[in-house]
A and B are shown apart, each in its own frame.
Chain A
Amino acid sequence: MSDPVNPSVDEPDYPPELARLPPGRHGLPREFVARNQYERLIAGLAEAVAENGYAGTTIAHITRHAAVSRRTFYEHFNSKDECFVAAYDTVMAELRERVDQAFNQEEEWPQASRAGIAAMLEFLTAEPHLARLSMVEALVAGPVVVERYDAAIQGLVPYFEAGRKGRSAEVLAGLSPSTEEALVGGMVSLISRRIFADRTEELESLLPDLVEFALTPYLGSAEAAAVARNG
Chain B
Amino acid sequence: MADIVKRAGIARNTFYENFGSKEDCFLAAQQFAMSAALSQVVDAAGEIDEWPYRVEAGLAAFLRYVAEEPALARTCMVDALAAAPTSVRYYEESLQAFVSLFKLGRDVSPHGKDLPATLEEALIGGVFWILYQRLLDEESESIGGLLPELVEFALTPYLGAEAARAVAMEGDDAAAWGARA
Which A residues fall within an 8 A CB radius of B?
136, 139-140, 150, 153-154, 170-171, 173-179, 181-190, 192-193, 196-197, 206, 208-210, 212-213, 216-217, 220-222, 225, 228
Contact = CB atoms under 8 A, between A and B. Distances in A.
> Lowest 4 A-B CB distances belong to which pairs?
A185-B129, A189-B125, A186-B126, A174-B161
B119 to A, nearest CB: 6
Contact of B116 (A175, A181, A196, A209): A209
Nearest to A189: B125
B70 interface: no
Contacts of A136: 81-82
B151 to A, nearest CB: 10
Contact of A217 (B114, B128, B130, B161): B161
Interface in B84-121: 88, 92, 111, 114-119, 121
A69 B133 CA distance: 40
A192 B81 contact: yes
Interface in B40-92: 78-79, 81-82, 88, 92
Contacts of A208: 116
Interface residues of B, number: 39
B150 A182 contact: yes
A189 B149 CA distance: 19
Determine which residue in A192, A208, A209 has the highest number of CB atoms from chain B within 10 A of its CB, and name it: A209
B153 interface: yes
A53 B79 CA distance: 15
Interface string B135-157: 01000000000101110110011
Interface of B: 78-79, 81-82, 88, 92, 111, 114-119, 121-130, 132-133, 136, 146, 148-150, 152-153, 156-157, 160-162, 164-165
Contacts of A210: 118, 122
B67 to A, nearest CB: 16
Contacts of A173: 165
A190 B121 contact: yes
Contacts of A189: 121-122, 124-126, 128-129
B148 A176 contact: yes
A183 B156 CA distance: 12
Given A182-B150, A220-B161, A187 B122 contact: yes
A176 B133 contact: no
A181 B132 CA distance: 11
A216 B156 contact: yes
